A and B are shown apart, each in its own frame.
Chain A
Amino acid sequence: MNSLITMNDLTNDDIHRILLDAEKLLPVAKGNFHLPLLKGKILGNLFFEPSTRTRMSFETAMKRLGGDVINLGAVASSSVVKGETLHDTIRMVDGYSDIIALRHPRQGAAQYASDCAKVPIANAGDGAGHHPTQTMLDLFTIKQAHGKIEKLNVVLVGDLRFGRTVHSLSYALVRFGCKLTLVSPESLRLPEEIVNELKEQGGELTITEDLKPQLKDADVVYMTRIQKERFPDDDEYFRVAGIYKLVANDLASVKKDMIVMHPLPRVDEINPDVDSTRHAAYFEQAFNGVVTRMALLCDMLNVPIPENIGGGN
């Protein structure tokens, strides 16, 4: 693999291999073991949109592996405000780094950047398009909880229309035979073209507006924030804001090993009283961003990961 633009760049075998690599790297991600596999390598972090977890976890992943990071910094203080094109920014950073992580408000930006650059591009989110590294950390979190990613009942909740996280994730889950229940208000349903494509790929989908009845049989409940910034006007946002709220009491009769996930940040869709239940997996999920991106960075830079790390023979 070179660039990672969408989940289509990874075969199912690639996904399994990278998830195994991530598991091997856990002691390094936790800082218990020093393994400078990427020493001398530089990651160019280009975030044209705000990001906390994705940007910081890419940075942590690179540094845990002994590599270095350069940042675009705030768009307001870069050449972008002087009218520099994405093409020219990429051509410049291409010369400064060995790999680029790109987040951009426009859909297709990562593919475009990949066409401009010689170094691999990791798509860290392109508009309402794709977010494959988030999908990989989501799959890792699911595997950690259930020991597998195949044939699970996954309930996706909230903004399924604009949420690129659920777009990438739903494609991946269907590939592994998971059954998807899509819970959203009508105005925020998964785009029809994606629903059709998932069905063509054999996906078993249920579309509903009702969250509570879906909880009992779920293996994973994936909550998302209704993203105010993606709405054209406030009225439309307030009509659907706060429509789904998960509280600890809702989890009384769910499966014992069911996990609640969320790409974070959350607003009010998961009550803090859920945090202390056995089902809350979202903070671990955020940590998993580091270990998964470590595995992805190594893979994209063709750096093999040793079999026994920290405590091996």
Chain B
Amino acid sequence: MTADEQSMRRVTAIRNGTVIDHIPGGMVLQALQIFNVDGRHSNPISLVMNVPSRKLGTKDILKIEDRELTQEELDRLALIAPMASVSIIRNYSVAEKLSIQIGDEMINVAHCIYSNCISNAEREPLPHRLKVLKTSPMTLQCHYCGRIQNLDRLVNNLL
């Protein structure tokens, strides 16, 4: 059994739902935030944190039961886990394998880290837009103020 398989079995297999593997170690709570899962009003959820990974050093795994995440929801994950691999599970089997698609822009995923940016003004209705300049390392720029975003700070600004 490989280290990855061992990690996956730290929690029981799910019957139906979504399994997200290869989330960088320690980032799974932000992933939950991205999917608007608050832990009180949600389906059963299993988390695995900081297990060894050949690809990432350490990784997290997230299993959400009875909810199939859409491609649009998954693409928001590009902010913290662009390398994540996603399986849609139906009746204990992998029914679909999905990957994160990183487009040219992230719309309404997070708001600019600079408080004086116009996009942070109250009640302004246009969407929050972050341009993807590079994917490795992930480099994002606010469409409005043009400033490069610090990703550690940006994950605190998830919408």
Contact = CB atoms under 8 A, between A and B. Distances in A.
Given A85-B121, A106-B121, A107-B114, A115 B126 contact: yes
A86 interface: yes
Contacts of A86: 118, 121, 124
B123 interface: yes
A108 interface: yes
A83 B119 CA distance: 16
Nearest to A129: B145
Interface string A172-186: 000000000000000
Nearest to B117: A108
Nearest to A197: B148
Contact of B145 (A87, A108, A115, A116): A108
B139 to A, nearest CB: 12
Contact of A112 (B114, B116, B144): B144
Contacts of A116: 126
Interface residues of A, number: 21
Contacts of A105: 116
Given A86-B118, A104-B118, A127-B116, A111 B123 contact: no
B144 A108 contact: yes
Interface in A86-141: 86-87, 104-109, 111-112, 115-116, 126-130
A234 interface: no
A106 B121 CA distance: 8
Contacts of B112: 108
Given A112-B144, A129-B145, A193-B147, A106 B126 contact: no
Contacts of A112: 118-119, 124, 126, 144
A6 interface: yes
Most buried by B among A86, A128, A193: A86
A6 B146 contact: yes
Contact of B143 (A6, A83, A111): A111
A147 to B, nearest CB: 32
Interface in B113-159: 114, 116-119, 121, 123-126, 142-148
Contacts of A104: 118
Interface residues of B, number: 18
A127 B117 CA distance: 9
Contact of B117 (A83, A85, A107): A107
Nearest to B121: A106
Contacts of A6: 146
Given A85-B121, A86-B118, A86-B121, A107 B145 contact: yes
A229 to B, nearest CB: 13
Nearest to A130: B146
B111 to A, nearest CB: 12
B119 to A, nearest CB: 6
A126 B116 CA distance: 10
A105 B121 CA distance: 11
Nearest to A104: B118
Contact of A107 (B118, B123, B124): B118
B54 to A, nearest CB: 33
Given A108-B117, A112-B126, 13 more contacts: A104-B118, A107-B114, A107-B147, A108-B144, A108-B145, A111-B118, A111-B143, A111-B146, A112-B119, A112-B144, A126-B145, A127-B116, A129-B145
23 contacts: A6-B146, A87-B124, A106-B117, A106-B118, A107-B144, A108-B112, A108-B117, A108-B119, A108-B142, A108-B145, A108-B146, A111-B143, A111-B144, A111-B145, A112-B119, A112-B124, A112-B144, A115-B126, A116-B126, A126-B145, A128-B116, A129-B145, A129-B146
